[in-house]
């Protein structure tokens, strides 16, 4: 099983907000720190705001911050939101299932138990847990953010082409 990049980015957005709490975070800051597009961050922030996990502030000086205490935000809940229904195999979706083994296959029940165990473990992990090593996390992302914040030159400096030495014309020409 592999989580989508969207879920990974959503967890990074929430973790960043927890690290900067109670202050506002800008989408650009998260994008720079994690090397992802601002558009992805904006989409994720919108969904997490709709779910009540983030508070968004519009306008100049705006951004987002945690809307709930990080101790109460379970990682399993975030993944249920961002991954949608976990359909590891076709028979997990009763509306579209065409498997002739549905109801008698022991593999599907084992996979369902494994998925429940996976989510149970992540339900025991909170946002506070994944942001607890604040100093180490900030130290790791700070160089990327600082590097990205370096202003780029507005124009290329003019560099004169090296003068070509002209060969002296032969005498008597």
pLDDT for 69-128, tens place per residue? 999 999 999 999 999 888 777 767 777 777 887 778 888 888 889 999 999 999 999 999
Q: What is the pLDDT of residues 111-170, one digit of tens each?
A: 889 999 999 999 999 999 999 998 899 888 876 555 444 444 444 444 444 555 555 555
pLDDT digits (tens, 9 = 90+) for 37-74: 999 999 999 999 999 999 999 988 889 999 999 999 99
Distance CA 19, CA 23 (A): 9
For each of the domains in the chain, give its residue range(s) and CATH number, in order of start. Answer: 5-148 (1.10.10.10)
pLDDT at 152: 44
Which residues, in sequence order, are CB contacts of 15 under 8 Å at separation 6+?
127, 130, 131, 137
Average pLDDT, the chain: 83
> Residue 34: pLDDT above 70?
yes
Closest to 82 measured CA to CA, from 26, 32, 9: 9
- The token pair at 4 is 């989508």
Q: What pTM was estimated for this model as a whole?
A: 0.76
């Amino acid at each position: 099983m592999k989580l989508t990049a969207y879920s990974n980015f959503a967890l990074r957005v929430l973790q960043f907000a927890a690290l900067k709490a109670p202050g506002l975070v800008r989408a650009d800051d998260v994008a720079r720190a994690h090397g992802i597009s601002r558009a992805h961050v904006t989409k994720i922030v919108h969904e997490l705001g709709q779910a009540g996990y983030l508070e968004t502030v519009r306008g100049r000086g705006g951004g987002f911050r945690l809307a709930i205490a990080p101790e109460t935000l379970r990682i399993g809940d975030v993944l249920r939101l961002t991954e949608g229904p976990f359909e590891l195999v076709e028979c997990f979706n009763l509306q579209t299932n065409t498997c002739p083994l549905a109801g008698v296959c022991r593999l599907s029940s084992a996979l369902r138990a494994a998925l429940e165990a996976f989510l149970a473990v992540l339900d025991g992990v909170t946002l506070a847990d994944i942001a607890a090593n604040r100093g180490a996390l900030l130290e790791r992302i700070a160089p990327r953010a600082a590097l990205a914040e370096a202003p780029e030159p507005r124009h290329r400096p003019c560099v004169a082409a090296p003068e070509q030495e002209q060969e002296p014309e032969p005498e008597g020409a």
